């Protein structure tokens, strides 16, 4: 199974609530999880547990709320001149203001030729624990696995980090990765017809140990023969990054793939999520990188219809069209 197919099947399974995490939270994939070296570490899958005010967050917007807007002194009460509410470069402040208006976190009104803004609702305490999952279907081809997991443990940005694999996990494997890392072995049921290919079961080989997210973390940057360059990331920076991860996860989710415009594509929804199954290849395919005229099995067709956003709305606590948003839109229409 390719890493891509493994990742989608795992996300669908976690979302179903039949896996080791409850399905009450947000599953997302491919999220940045480093601070000093942005983009230096990408987590394959993140599971965000709901916090006490999850519903309040869902009621604001279906999109990610920009961090600068949350950090600003714009609140839900008094109208503020946008420029004086940010402690950052005016260009960044403007971008954050525009985006916050676009997604419906801010509302605005003109006064004396200036634009004043306020939050539509106070930013809620909406997320709990963050679980990071590193996918390595085949431990025989580990790549940078050990270094990545060591980074996750020493930076401790997520509450728990887990390795998910299809391989049989030996004592030697366990000894090579930090003891805080949990290990899931994923079993696939290939016995049935096409759809059964995504039926998974997860065996918890080792439970993760909670990481110290409230303390400063150490982020390894570069390795040299005799030394490793590191950055110390303080607790406040980590808290901000955790919020960005949660927001990004909320806005993005994991259905960020396309379906192939090919006769052979026979979307598999046996898991309750629509996955890009190819009958010719006999597996889930990545339309973006595998499909098209260069594939020997390609037979052009109309892209199968699937509303992945509606599916996410139906199957998860994420809300595609929160009522607050609808109210604002009808409010805008009045002045349109």
Closer CB to ligand SF4, 2 or 108, in the complex: 2
- Runs of H (alpha helix) within 156-201: 171-176
CA angle, residues 98, 46, 191, in degrees to nearest 5: 130
Strand 160-165 to 127-135 pairing: parallel
CB of 255 to ligand SF4, least distance (A): 18
CB of 2 to ligand SF4, least distance (A): 11
**Residue 281 binds to ligand SF4 (criterion: CB under 6 A):** yes
Among 59, 199, 280, 304, binds ligand SF4 (CB under 6 A): 280
**Residue 298 binds to ligand SF4 (criterion: CB under 6 A):** yes
Distance CA 169, CA 183 (A): 8
CB of 296 to ligand SF4, least distance (A): 7
CB of 295 to ligand SF4, least distance (A): 3
**Residue 297 binds to ligand SF4 (criterion: CB under 6 A):** yes
Interface segment toward ligand SF4; rule CB under 6 A; list 6-14, 57-65, 184-192, 261-269: 261-269
Interface segment toward ligand SF4; rule CB under 6 A; list 60-68, 83-91, 185-193, 288-296: 288-296
- Strands, DSSP E only, in the chain? 26-32, 42-50, 80-81, 106-111, 114-119, 127-135, 160-165, 182-188, 200-206, 217-223, 228-233, 277-278, 283-284
Size of the site for ligand SF4 (CB under 6 A): 13
In a 10 Å sphere around its CB, with 0-12 CB exposed, 13-18 middle and 19+ buried, how is residue 95 labelled?
middle
Distance CA 266, CA 293 (A): 18
H helices, E strands: number in the chain: 10, 13
CB of 267 to ligand SF4, least distance (A): 10
Residues at the contact surface with ligand SF4, assessed by CB under 6 A: 260, 262, 264-265, 278, 280-281, 285, 290-291, 295, 297-298
């Amino acid at each position: 199974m390719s890493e891509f197919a493994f990742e989608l099947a795992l996300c669908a399974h976690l979302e179903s609530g039949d896996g080791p995490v409850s399905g009450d939270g947000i599953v997302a994939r491919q999220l940045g999880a480093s601070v000093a070296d942005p983009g230096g570490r990408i987590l394959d899958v993140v599971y965000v547990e709901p916090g006490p005010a999850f519903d309040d967050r869902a009621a604001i917007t279906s999109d990610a709320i920009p961090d600068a807007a949350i950090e600003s002194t714009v609140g839900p009460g008094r109208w503020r001149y946008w420029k004086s509410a940010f402690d950052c470069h005016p260009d960044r402040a403007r971008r954050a203001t525009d985006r916050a208006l676009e997604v419906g976190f801010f509302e605005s009104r003109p006064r004396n030729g200036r634009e004043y803004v306020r939050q539509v609702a106070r930013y809620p305490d909406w997320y709990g624990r963050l679980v990071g999952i590193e996918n390595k279907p085949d431990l025989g081809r580990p790549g940078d696995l050990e270094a990545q997991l060591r980074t996750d443990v020493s930076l401790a940005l997520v509450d728990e980090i887990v390795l998910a694999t299809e391989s049989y996990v030996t004592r030697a494997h366990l000894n090579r990765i930090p003891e805080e890392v949990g290990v899931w072995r994923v079993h696939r049921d290939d016995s049935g017809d096409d759809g059964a290919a995504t039926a998974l079961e997860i065996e918890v080989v080792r439970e993760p140990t909670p990481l110290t997210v409230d303390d400063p973390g150490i982020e390894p940057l570069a390795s040299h023969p005799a030394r490793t360059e590191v950055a110390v990331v303080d607790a406040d920076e980590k808290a901000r990054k955790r919020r960005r991860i949660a927001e990004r996860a909320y806005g993005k989710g994991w259905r960020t793939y396309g379906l192939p415009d090919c006769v052979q594509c026979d979307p598999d929804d046996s898991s309750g999520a629509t996955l890009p199954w190819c009958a010719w290849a006999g597996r889930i395919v990545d339309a973006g990188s595998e499909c098209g005229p260069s594939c020997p099995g390609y037979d052009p067709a109309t892209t199968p219809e699937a509303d992945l956003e509606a599916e996410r709305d139906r199957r998860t606590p994420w809300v595609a069209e929160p009522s607050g948003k609808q109210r604002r839109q009808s409010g805008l229409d009045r002045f349109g």
